[in-house]
């Protein structure tokens, strides 16, 4: 059967400083079977500055995929310097790039020995340079033991032992014969420019890392002797919002030469290879905005991605709370700190295939964070966040299950414009009318609803004839013991004043027609501690409420519908509170014991 490149994902490969891509040549045959592949080649005499190089690549991508089907995935594979270029292109054109594969990216160059060694190397007399460079750059050729072992594995089962031994010897000779030629491939003036490119790239990419929202797989060699990739991998995994790290044990800087299995096999093993993207709503072309933080359609996570997200973010919560999902056949009654939301979003996606697009407070979106948390000085807010509500404080969500939920499930900043766009695209929205007021409740406010009086969200839903599914949840409010409610926190000496000053600078979630007189986002967390063992979580989806565009201009009808929806949510909460008293496994001890004796089977609940 003939290979049809157009039916395959597009892969653009950016090589290291040599510009030839020979370091990845062993991977090309397997990659060509899985991708329609492009390779950026740069001539030795090319002195295009880094920013201009990024612009040229973006222009080429725009010409090739700008009007193509958004369902066709676009990957960037960047090795060493190419990793810098891939990151910069992804930041410059998020609508054109879906996934990144970074192999020992040169983002760690400023912390390597190169800035210190390079000036002396470049001033070395030419005759001596040809002798010294091979010794300095030997790690670029790769780990000889790994390379030879890979060569043996490639020929295993195909040749006799004698022929494999002969091939092994020839491979060793070829590898070491390449070292003296490095001075010809990278003469002093060329090396000087390549190192300058890396410096420019690090300066360009560094501030952008927290804003690069594409899915990213980082492959790091544990024995990279050229740059400190071993420590750089975890740093990048923290800074890139959707990155995950895979360590390549024993691999050097030339990891693609040494990998014991093909890169394509690694991508499949990690669940990172897809042939088609499933989007949350139709998208005509890549020229249309859409992506992380945008209200346009986004890629729906696949099974492998959901499983990986669950393993890191919701598995423990599920294990401890044994959530129960009920339906009488999503506007919601929100709970303290919203720790149950990741479980809810995951379950809905697994069971229905529907991606719930959350409308998040501006402070929870990465747009509001101009610098990564590690770059900010600590303050009273950060100290308070450690006592309660860390997942919802500025920057505190990074790495938390709540932050992962926002990233994985395509949450966008709450605003009339974003809500309008999501509804016009027919997307499913996860909306919390009570906002942060319900998330940060005080003492004695368990399971109470705090909704604004205005019915603007109902009017907008009616404009598009949207169906509203009220749902209720019970369990989280009982799991926390509030020591200081938000009003008491604000009354604390020093801390209260600092919080009020900080809150005055925060963006407001409600503006324009969605604003409500006298309503405040109240972005001050209570100080709370766990109240014994986690309570079981119960979710109840109420009967759908249908709207009609004719109701959109009838404020009285929308107000009545608003009251009906709120009443349905409160009714669901009251039902769950009463019904759970008949759950024989409501208590954590009996529930966990029962599930330990019957692995994989959730404990039964109250009779329906």
Q: Is 182 domain-assigned?
A: yes
Lowest mean pLDDT across 50-54, 262-266, 481-485: 481-485
Q: Cα separation of 543 and 545, whole Å?
A: 6
Residue pLDDT, tens place only, 112-141: 988 998 888 888 888 787 777 766 666 555
Which of these three, 269, 285, 314, is where a domain ends? 269
Provide CB contacts within 8 A for 474, sequence distance 6+: 335, 447, 537, 538, 573, 576, 577, 580
Query: Are 135 and 218 contained in the same domain?
Result: yes
Q: What backbone torsions phi and psi does residue 173 show, to the nearest 5 degrees?
A: -65, -40
Query: Are 307 and 264 contained in the same domain?
Result: no
Query: Are 222 and 321 contained in the same domain?
Result: no
Query: Are 237 and 357 contained in the same domain?
Result: no
The pLDDT assigned to 32 comes to 93
The pLDDT assigned to 367 comes to 45
Query: Are 419 and 511 contained in the same domain?
Result: yes
More confident residue, 480 or 85: 85
The pLDDT assigned to 393 comes to 36
Q: Cα separation of 176 and 585, whole Å?
A: 67
Which of these three, 269, 291, 312, is where a domain ends? 269
Number of other CB atoms surrounding residue 282 within 10 Å: 11
Instruction: Estimate the crossing angle of helix 126-141 against helix 114-122, to 10 degrees.
Output: 150
Q: How confident is the model at residue 232 (pLDDT cuts 50, 70, 90)?
A: very high
pLDDT at 508 over 70: no
Query: Are 386 and 531 contained in the same domain?
Result: yes
Q: Is 275 domain-assigned?
A: no
Q: Cα separation of 492 and 19, whole Å?
A: 60
Q: What backbone torsions phi and psi does residue 569 show, to the nearest 5 degrees?
A: -65, -45
Query: Are 196 and 327 contained in the same domain?
Result: no
Give the chain's mean pLDDT.
80
Cα-Cα end-to-end distance for the chain: 54
Provide CB contacts within 8 A for 332, sequence distance 6+: 430, 431, 432, 470, 471, 472, 473, 569
More confident residue, 86 or 152: 86
Q: Cα separation of 80 and 574, whole Å?
A: 58
Stretch 565-586: mean pLDDT, rounded?
Answer: 95
Q: Cα separation of 601 and 608, whole Å?
A: 18
Q: Is 289 domain-assigned?
A: no
Residue pLDDT, tens place only, 105-114: 999 999 998 8
pTM: 0.81
Q: Which two tokens stand for residue 260?
A: 């014991």
Q: Cα separation of 32 and 34, whole Å?
A: 5
Query: Are 348 and 260 contained in the same domain?
Result: no
More confident residue, 89 or 120: 89
pLDDT at 517 over 70: no
Residue pLDDT, tens place only, 413-455: 888 889 999 999 999 998 888 877 777 888 888 889 988 888 8
Stretch 193-220: mean pLDDT, rounded?
Answer: 95
Query: Are 264 and 367 contained in the same domain?
Result: no
pLDDT at 253 over 70: yes
Which of these three, 221, 249, 269, is where a domain ends? 269
Residue 536: which domain range? Answer: 303-594
* CATH assignment at residue 47: 3.40.50.1820
Q: Is 293 domain-assigned?
A: no
Q: Is 90 domain-assigned?
A: yes
Most confident range, picked from 12-26, 118-132, 361-375, 553-567 = 553-567
Q: Is 285 domain-assigned?
A: no
pLDDT at 399 over 50: no
pLDDT at 513 over 80: no
Query: Are 96 and 180 contained in the same domain?
Result: yes
Query: Are 27 and 115 contained in the same domain?
Result: yes
Q: Is 155 domain-assigned?
A: yes
pLDDT at 175 over 80: no
Specify whether the backbone of 570 is left (phi greater than 0), alpha (psi in -120 to 50) or beta. Answer: alpha
Query: Are 361 and 490 contained in the same domain?
Result: yes
The pLDDT assigned to 159 comes to 52
Q: In angstroms, how far apart are the furthest CA atoms of the chain?
A: 89
Number of other CB atoms surrounding residue 2 within 10 Å: 3
Sign of the CA dihedral running 286, 290, 296, 299: positive
Q: How many domains does the chain have?
A: 2
Residue found by looking up tokens 């989280």 in the block: 476
Q: Identify the bridge partners of residue 37 per DSSP, sorted by sequence position.
A: 11
Q: Is 282 domain-assigned?
A: no
């Amino acid at each position: 059967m003939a290979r049809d490149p157009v039916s395959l994902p597009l892969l653009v490969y950016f090589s290291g400083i040599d510009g030839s891509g020979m370091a990845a040549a062993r991977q090309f045959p397997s990659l060509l079977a899985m991708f329609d592949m492009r390779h950026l080649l740069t001539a030795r005499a090319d002195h295009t500055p880094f920013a201009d190089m990024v612009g040229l690549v973006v222009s080429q991508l725009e010409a090739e995929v700008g009007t193509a089907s958004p369902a066709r995935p676009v990957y960037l594979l960047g090795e060493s310097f190419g990793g810098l270029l891939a990151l910069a292109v992804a930041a410059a054109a998020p609508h054109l790039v879906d996934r990144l594969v970074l192999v020992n990216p040169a983002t760690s160059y400023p912390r390597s020995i190169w800035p210190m060694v390079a000036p002396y190397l470049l001033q070395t007399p030419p005759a001596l340079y040809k002798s010294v460079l091979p010794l300095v750059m030997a790690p670029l050729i790769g780990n000889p033991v790994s390379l030879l072992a890979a060569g043996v594995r490639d020929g295993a089962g195909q040749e006799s032992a004698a022929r494999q031994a002969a091939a092994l010897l020839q491979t060793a000779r070829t590898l070491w014969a390449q070292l003296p030629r490095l001075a010809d491939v990278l003469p002093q003036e060329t090396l000087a420019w390549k190192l300058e490119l890396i410096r420019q790239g690090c300066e360009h990419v560094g501030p952008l890392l927290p804003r690069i929202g594409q899915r990213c797989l980082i492959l790091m060699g544990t024995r990279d002797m050229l740059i400190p990739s071993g420590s750089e991998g975890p740093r990048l995994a923290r800074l890139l919002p959707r990155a995950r790290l895979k360590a390549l044990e024993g691999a050097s800087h030339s990891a693609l030469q040494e990998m014991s299995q093909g890169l394509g096999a690694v991508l499949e093993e990690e669940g990172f290879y897809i042939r088609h993207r499933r989007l949350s709503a139709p998208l005509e072309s890549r020229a249309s905005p859409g992506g992380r933080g945008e209200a346009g359609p986004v890629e729906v996570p696949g099974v492998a991605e959901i499983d990986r997200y669950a393993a890191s973010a919701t598995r423990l919560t599920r294990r401890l709370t044994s959530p129960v999902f009920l339906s009488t056949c999503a506007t919601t009654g929100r709970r303290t700190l919203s720790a149950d939301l990741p479980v809810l979003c995951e379950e809905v996606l697994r069971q229905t295939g529907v991606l719930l697009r959350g409308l998040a407070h501006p402070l929870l979106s990465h747009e509001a964070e101009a610098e990564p948390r590690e770059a900010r000085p600590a303050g009273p807010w950060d100290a308070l966040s450690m006592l309660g509500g860390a997942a919802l404080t500025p920057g505190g969500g990074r790495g938390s299950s709540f932050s992962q939920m926002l990233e994985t499930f395509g949450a966008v900043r709450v605003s009339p414009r974003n809500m309008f766009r999501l509804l016009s695209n027919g997307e499913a929205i996860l909306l919390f009318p009570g906002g942060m007021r319900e998330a940060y409740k005080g003492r004695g406010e368990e399971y109470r609803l705090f909704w604004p009086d205005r019915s603007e969200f109902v009017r907008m839903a009616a404009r598009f004839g949207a169906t509203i599914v009220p749902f209720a949840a019970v369990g989280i409010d009982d799991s926390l013991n509030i020591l200081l409610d938000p009003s008491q926190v604000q009354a604390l000496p020093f801390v209260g004043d600092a919080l009020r000053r900080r809150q005055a600078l925060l963006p407001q979630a409600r503006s324009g027609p969605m604003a409500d007189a006298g309503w405040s986002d109240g972005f001050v967390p209570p100080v709370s501690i766990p109240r014994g063992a986690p309570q079981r979580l119960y979710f109840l989806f109420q009967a759908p409420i249908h709207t009609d565009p004719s109701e959109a201009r009838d404020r009285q009808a929308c107000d009545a519908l608003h009251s009906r929806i709120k009443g349905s949510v409160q009714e669901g909460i009251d039902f769950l509170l009463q019904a759970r008293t008949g759950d024989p496994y409501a208590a954590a001890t009996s529930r966990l014991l029962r599930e330990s004796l019957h692995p994989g089977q959730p404990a039964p609940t109250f009779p329906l």
